[in-house]
Structure 1
Amino acid sequence: MGLSLTVLGCATPYPSTDNPCSGYLVSHGDTRVWMDAGTGTLGPLQQHTSLEALDAIWISHLHADHSADLLTAYYALLFADVERAPIPLYGPPGIADRLAGFLTNGPQRSPIEDAFAVTELDDGHQTAIGTLRLTTAAVEHGIPAFGVRIEADGGSLTYSGDTAPCPSLVELARGTDVLLCEAESAEKTPDMAHHTPEDAGETATAARAKRLIVTHVGRFLTPQEAVTRAGTRYAGRIDYAAPGTTFTAG
């Protein structure tokens, strides 16, 4: 089986009735990575795999719509029917203490490390998870935030996370088979921290990406509007990251 991406959800900044927040399952062979754990994504994750079978979790940044279900996963891992060693968790600096700050309700810090084996990301971080190779790059979101390029068997998938247009994302996505790029903003503002759909098209064009999937579409846009607007700046294939859809790379 090739490199695949299953959309668990892509809503922002809160889940809708049929769309959890940002979360994706990246799979290749027997390797499975939960990429972003936004509000409501743990449920649909279990339609495709279990917490026991996950090889790792990768978190782009610590806004709740990309990380809140780490809190529910913590309870599943330590206080329910899940039996396994701590899940490798890759995330921004301070992720363990942020989780502990929410979960601790007494004199002793919650044992985050009993549930997660934490590795803090930095710009240029590289790691192998099963058959996958991950390269992380810092992006521009006003807080520590990262995009990731995932490669296996000659296929490549690049995920923007949340970010304004930036050279580091273009470089990370150079020649990628699939660019999963956020398109949250309906219009440009002076303090942009996201892509507009046109920006997503421009990033895909600049990176010479072979395919663009727009995700994290804001609530003042429809998915079709986002796809159409991105298409004014990118001539390749464009799809919307509809929940439940599986895409392949390579």
Structure 2
Amino acid sequence: MRLHPMELTVLGGSGAWPVAGQGCSGYLVEHGGFRLLLDPGYGVLPELLRHTHPHAVDAVYVTHGHPDHCADLNPLLRARALTDPPAPPLPVHAPVGALDAVLALDRPGLLEPALDLREFAPGDTLRTGPLLASTFDLPHSRPNAGVRLEATGGASLAFTGDTGPSEQLTALARGVDLLLCEATHLREVPPEDAGELLSACHAGGLARRSGVGRLLLTHLWPGTDAREAVRLARENYRGPVDVAVPGMRARVG
């Protein structure tokens, strides 16, 4: 059987709000012709359109309901529902209730033909196309489901969403080819966010403990020095480290 690689394309990665030239969390995972969109946050759709058509997205996975991780689901659904002919319903996987606010932006019924909402509880295992998605209940101010994606042939990718420190993170990331890890802060997380967010130092330590093949830092606070984030992550992890920027492509496996 011919094995297909998994490929990640970064569509965004700014933490909290979009900045000039960069939207918030948004990542396109492709495997065997299947396209999965992870976390369509603020400003992700215009970058997605540089790479594919809205009708070509096969499924969406949302880690949690903060708008910097899901706001652009609204224009994506509009682009699928309001064209002629409309696209078929889009399978959207999200924790229960996470998308209530973004789906309420339009009048009732407008986007329903474009949406196949598949809610789950963090900790569930899902199948989306050819990808097996194991979800992990991670601590954040809203329910957050980190996800581990495993493809035909063994390629694997883990994405934390937004999270504080947790023993579950090691299980999420153990042995994956690529860890896409939230690193909102550089070294110290402010006390008010200490249980809900990570730093570049945390990300490096997680990558080392979990034995990952490559670390990609994301969700840096706007204005953060990306080179310093990489340097601090490398204090704890000796493998390849980069910061997610729009247009970056990574072969996984």
Q: Which TM-score band applies after superposition, normalised by the shorter structure?
A: over 0.9
Residue 37 of structure 1 aligns to a residue whose secondary structure is coil
After superposition, the Cα gap between the structure-2 partners of 1:149 and 1:82, relative to the gap in structure 1 and judged at 3 Å, is farther
Decide which of 49, 54, 67 is 2:52's aligned counterpart.
Answer: 49
Residue 120 of structure 1 aligns to a residue whose secondary structure is strand
Specify the alignment match of 2:189 in structure 1.
188
Aligned length: 246
Give the share of equivalent positions with the same residue, in percent.
37
Residue 119 of structure 1 aligns to a residue whose secondary structure is strand
Q: TM-score, normalised by structure 2?
A: 0.92
Specify the alignment match of 1:23 in structure 2.
26
Determine the C-alpha separation between the residues in 2 that align with 1:82 and 1:9: 29
Q: Match for 2:55: what amino acid?
A: E
Deviations 1:204-241 (A, max 9, x none): 11211121111111125211111111111112111111
Deviations 1:111-140 (A, max 9, x none): 543221011121222222222111111111
Q: What are structure 2's unaligned runs of at least 5 residues? A: none
Shift of 1:190: 2.3
Task: Give 4+ residue runs of structure 1 displaced > 4 Å after superposition.
Answer: none
Shift of 1:98: 2.4
Determine the C-alpha separation between the residues in 1 that align with 2:99 and 2:10: 25
Decide which of 79, 83, 97 is 1:76's aligned counterpart.
Answer: 79
User: Equivalences for 1:1-250 in 2 at 5 Å?
Assistant: 1-81=4-84, 83-104=86-107, 109-152=108-151, 153-186=153-186, 187-191=188-192, 192=194, 193-250=196-253
RMSD: 1.5
After superposition, the Cα gap between the structure-2 partners of 1:194 and 1:84, relative to the gap in structure 1 and judged at 3 Å, is same
Determine the C-alpha separation between the residues in 2 that align with 1:89 and 1:143: 18
Shift of 1:146: 1.1
Shift of 1:142: 1.7
After superposition, the Cα gap between the structure-2 partners of 1:35 and 1:197, relative to the gap in structure 1 and judged at 3 Å, is same
CA contact (8 A) 1:122 1:137 kept: no
Q: Match for 1:75: what amino acid?
A: R
Deviations 1:75-119 (A, max 9, x none): 212223462211000012114532333323xxxx34543221011
Determine the C-alpha separation between the residues in 2 that align with 1:111 and 1:95: 19
CA contact (8 A) 1:100 1:110 kept: no
After superposition, the Cα gap between the structure-2 partners of 1:117 and 1:16, relative to the gap in structure 1 and judged at 3 Å, is same
Q: What are structure 1's unaligned runs of at least 5 residues? A: none
